[in-house]
Amino acid sequence: MKHLLNPLDFSVTELDDLLKLANAIEANPQKYAHACEGKKLATCFYEPSTRTRLSFEAAMLNLGGSVIGFASSDNSSAAKGESVSDTIRVISCYADICAIRHPKEGAALVASSRSSIPVINAGDGGHQHPTQTLTDLLTIYSLKGHLDHLKVGLCGDLKFGRTVHSLINALIRYPAVEFVLISPEELRVPGYIREDILDAGHIPYKEVERLEDAMADLDLLYMTRVQKERFFNEEDYIRMKDFYILDKAKMTLAPKDMLVLHPLPRVNEISVEVDDDPRAVYFKQAQYGVYVRMALILTLLDIHVTDEN
């Protein structure tokens, strides 16, 4: 049985197949509309979410399946002190596949070790967020046509931003990808990403503080929110929260074909005036999140839709 805990759980070839399947679903959603009839997805969310949970649910409904679950730890037995391990053993009796989001790093891994159904990590603390990465890869692949030969700027909270950690993990497997890491000193990528992944893999990258200095030759700019909920004190958050604001003036420094991505939710880091710029693709990105999660559910449940189905 396969789980998705980390973007590296899929090989490059498997990822390629998944992205192609997502493109096929986008082109002909009707063909897949009954593929998961009789199947249930459980969404177990111990942390707030809009896009991830609802796009998972929309994905399963689009496939003809159904959805059960909880949207906060307050209205599950976690509030009574139940462990993730016990909860997942029970969920395994009710559903065919489970997406779990939890504030603790490693929670999805623990869940997978006790589960008899596929477990999808929908975000574990400040660690990883592999399905956001699938969404990001599908967006880049669909709009740029390739995942190699890219200069990728990652901007904002690179310390706590799990989407950034997962995206770096995934992109380093493609040839000629380089990174510009744009953050204040306090929010630099964690050492384990810098040393164990970038340095160890001889991946070209530089770290800069000013967004303006980085924009001129990027293929992609991936903006992120300062992760308020992971700060130890409010003062530090307030000092950091408006460090970067991408506005129309800064967009004039960027190449004509640079894409702006953001996992969302946006707070202040992208001014709404940028939304109409054709290079701003973050709302399209949210739509790709549904197709890629449909492809993921089919893949993990080992359901193959043929023309005869």
Q: Which 147-186 residues touch ligand NCD, going by CB under 6 A?
A: 162-163
In whole angstroms, the minimum distance from the beta carbon of 255 to ligand NCD comes to 25
The owner of tokens 């603790």 is 104
Using CA atoms, how far residue 9 sits from 5, 81, 105, 200, 292, in Å, is 7, 30, 17, 19, 16
Asked if 228 touches ligand NCD (CB under 6 A), the answer is: no
Half-sphere exposure of 202 (CA within 13 A, CB side): 2
Q: CA–CA separation, 198 vs 191, rounded Å?
A: 10
Residue of the chain from 7, 65, 118, 123 that contacts ligand NCD (CB under 6 A): 123
**Interface residue with ligand NCD, options 40, 151, 225, 293 (CB under 6 A):** 225
Stretch touching ligand NCD by CB under 6 A, among 10-18, 19-27, 87-95, 262-270? 262-270
Instruction: Decide: 193 and 231 in contact? Cβ < 8 Å.
Output: no
- Nearest approach in angstroms of CB 266 to ligand NCD is 9
292, 135 in Cβ contact below 8 A?
yes
CB of 184 to ligand NCD, least distance (A): 16
If one asks whether residue 52 binds ligand NCD (CB under 6 A), the answer comes out as yes
- Among residues 2, 31, 39, 51, the one that binds ligand NCD under rule CB under 6 A: 51
Q: Which two tokens stand for residue 278?
A: 């054709």
Binding of ligand NCD by 125 (CB under 6 A): no
In DSSP terms, which residues pair with 97 in a beta bridge? 41
State both tokens at 123.
């975000």
Q: Which is nearer to ligand NCD, 105 or 199 (CB)?
A: 105
| Positions 265 through 294 that interact with ligand NCD (CB under 6 A) | 265
- Given a contact cutoff of 8 angstroms between Cβ atoms, the answer to whether 122 and 129 are in contact is yes
Q: Binders of ligand NCD: how many residues, by CB under 6 A?
A: 11
Q: Looking at 88, 134, 223, 264, which residue binds ligand NCD (CB under 6 A)? A: 264
Could you tell me which of 39, 100, 89, 99 has the C-alpha nearest to residue 64?
Answer: 39
Kindly report whether the peptide bond that precedes residue 265 is cis, defined as omega within 30 degrees of 0.
yes
The yes or no reply on residue 129 touching ligand NCD (CB under 6 A) is: yes
Q: Is there a contact between 260 and 224 (Cβ–Cβ < 8 Å)?
A: no
State which of positions 83-122 bind ligand NCD (CB under 6 A): none
Kindly tell me which of 3 and 102 has the beta carbon lying closer to ligand NCD.
Answer: 102
- Near ligand NCD in 183-212, by CB under 6 A: none
Cβ distance to ligand NCD smaller for residue 72 or 309: 72
Q: Name the DSSP class of 190.
A: P
* C-alpha–C-alpha distance, residues 215 and 246, integer Å: 11
Binding site for ligand NCD (CB under 6 A): 51-52, 123, 129, 132, 162-163, 225, 263-265
